[in-house]
């Protein structure tokens, strides 16, 4: 592969129209919690039910760095009687919601790569949740873009994007695809428990995409040679979303809080930061570089303090916004799309020969990385 490396030749970012600020979210959660506490005051006084604690916008920003998030559908999220988005169902003859947002990002990535559907052989839709089991969203997207070849969906929570990029890299290196479209339509809001004080603020919706191909077909203005890539998983119960088709047969509450996103955030923080730092150190050394040779860190966007801790561990100093761009203040945690948003927003200014690293970390646990060199 040394004579014909695999490159990332295009990237696309689609942002929903609706914003939800911390203040809006907290006002709605607190109104819901106060109504709940009033309704259950007797059980709470008798010690049979726990009082719902109040949330605070100040806490959220301090603990996570998040100020706002985007929502595919805002209607319903802030309604105390609903506390979830109101998404209009689509018929089987209509484009599905997630395919629609996947297409928005995919088209931008194709344009930035100077490619059309005719150039692509493989489509991977990879994200934290898919809205159905089959047919694969990737095949719907493939059909809409007039791509021949094949497509499939992948679920790896926060590492869905990096793990899919590694699959794309492998396919091009092995000659099973000329060019691959990797799309991350992160529609997280339907899985957020907006009545849980500890997690109601964490996620936002977005869609990202990338095009990968062999260097000899690349004609785009900005391209990045993939020097190495690593996927790593270690089982943990600290971040879970249990919703699934078996709930129907188990006679459990399909929409119960245990089936929505929940986590032991403190434990995740403590476990994942050292794992991610060690992973990055080893991966950068494995491609013959030193951490000091890396000009740009496109890191997973879950928590500002986490990213600062990881880069401090690696470099022994604080990083600037230019070195390790933060986008989670605007987007919140967008599952696997976070590092790709950071890349989309902050890559064109790099010089030829500069190095950058895309890295994700999250549920599983899963950690994925790609070391890149600008061409
Ligand atoms: C979720 C996270 C922001 C919480 O921050 P934290 O500093 O760990 O906060 P804790 O959960 O320990 O809570 C500390 C205190 O803050 C308060 N608190 C928690 N949530 C609050 C909220 N929304 N509003 C106000 N106060 C809150 C509580 O009083 C809590 O004390 P308690 O022990 O009496 O409940 C942080 O743990 C995190 O980001 N972890 C990593 C998560 C991650 O990356 N997950 C990946 C998802 S894919």
Could you list the pLDDT tens digit for every one of the 375 residues in the chain?
557 999 999 999 999 999 999 999 999 999 999 999 999 999 999 999 999 999 999 999 999 999 999 999 999 999 999 999 999 999 999 999 999 999 999 999 999 999 999 999 999 999 999 999 999 999 999 999 999 999 999 999 999 999 999 999 999 999 999 999 999 999 999 999 999 999 999 999 999 999 999 999 999 999 999 999 999 999 999 999 998 889 889 988 888 888 999 999 999 999 999 999 999 999 999 999 999 999 999 999 999 999 999 999 999 999 999 999 999 999 999 999 999 999 999 999 999 999 999 999 999 999 999 999 999
Closest-lying ligand 1 atom to the alpha carbon of residue 128: 48
Does 271 contact ligand 1 (Cβ within 6 A)? no
Domains in the chain, please, with CATH? 224-374 (3.40.47.10)
Does 188 contact ligand 1 (Cβ within 6 A)? no
pTM of the model: 0.97
Q: H or E segment at 184?
A: strand 179-186
Q: Check: CB of residue 44 under 8 Å from CB of residue 241.
A: no
- Ligand 1 centroid–CA 367 distance in Å is 22
Q: What is the pLDDT of residues 212-247, one digit of tens each?
A: 999 999 999 999 999 999 999 999 999 999 988 898
Which residues, 6+ apart, have CB-to-CB distance to 181 below 8 Å? 106, 109, 110, 120, 122, 123, 124, 141, 145, 147, 209, 210, 211
Active-site residues, by number, are 158
- Ligand 1 centroid–CA 95 distance in Å is 38
What's the Cα-to-Cα distance from 186 to each of 61, 292, 293, rounded to whole Å?
22, 32, 32
Nearest CA residue ID for atom 22, ligand 1:
55
Q: What is the pLDDT of residue 139?
A: 98
Q: Is the dihedral of CA 175, 298, 105, 239 positive or negative?
A: positive
Which of helix, strand or coil describes residue 370? strand
Backbone angles phi, psi at 325, to 5 degrees: -60, 140
Q: What is the pLDDT of residue 2?
A: 52
Nearest CA residue ID for atom 24, ligand 1:
55
Does 87 contact ligand 1 (Cβ within 6 A)? no
């Amino acid at each position: 592969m040394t004579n014909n490396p695999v490159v990332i030749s295009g990237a696309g970012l689609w942002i929903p129209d609706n914003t939800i600020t911390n203040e809006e979210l907290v006002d709605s959660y607190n109104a819901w919690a106060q109504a709940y506490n009033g309704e259950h005051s007797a059980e709470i006084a008798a010690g049979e039910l726990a009082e719902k604690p109040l949330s605070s916008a100040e806490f959220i920003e301090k603990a996570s760095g998040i100020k706002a998030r985007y929502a595919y559908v805002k209607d319903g999220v802030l309604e105390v009687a609903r506390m979830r988005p109101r998404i209009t169902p689509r018929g089987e003859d209509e484009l599905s919601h997630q395919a629609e947002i996947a297409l928005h990002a995919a088209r931008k990535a194709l344009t930035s790569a100077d490619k059309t559907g005719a150039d692509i052989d493989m489509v991977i839709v990879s994200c934290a949740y898919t809205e159905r089991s089959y047919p694969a969203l990737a095949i719907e997207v493939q059909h809409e873009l007039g791509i021949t070849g094949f497509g499939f969906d992948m679920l790896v929570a926060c590492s869905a994007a990096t793990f899919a990029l590694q699959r794309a890299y492998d396919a091009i290196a092995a000659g099973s695809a000329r060019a691959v479209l990797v799309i991350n339509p992160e529609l997280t809001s339907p899985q957020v428990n907006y009545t849980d004080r500890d997690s109601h603020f964490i996620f936002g919706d977005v869609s990202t995409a990338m095009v990968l191909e062999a260097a000899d077909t690349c004609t785009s203005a900005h391209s990045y040679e993939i020097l190495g890539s690593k996927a790593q998983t270690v089982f943990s119960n600290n971040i879970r979303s249990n919703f699934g088709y078996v709930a129907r047969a188990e006679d459990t509450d399909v929409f119960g809080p245990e089936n929505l996103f929940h986590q032991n955030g403190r434990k995740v923080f403590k476990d994942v930061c050292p794992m991610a730092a060690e992973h990055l150190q080893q991966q950068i050394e494995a491609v013959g570089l030193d951490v000091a040779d890396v000009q740009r860190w496109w890191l997973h966007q879950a928590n500002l303090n986490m990213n600062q801790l990881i880069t401090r561990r690696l470099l022994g100093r604080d990083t600037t916004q230019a070195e390790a761009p933060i986008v989670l203040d605007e987007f919140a945690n967008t599952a696997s799309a976070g590092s790709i948003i950071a890349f989309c927003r902050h890559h064109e200014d790099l010089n030829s020969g500069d190095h950058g690293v895309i890295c994700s970390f999250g549920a599983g646990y899963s950690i994925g990385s790609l070391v890149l060199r600008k061409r």
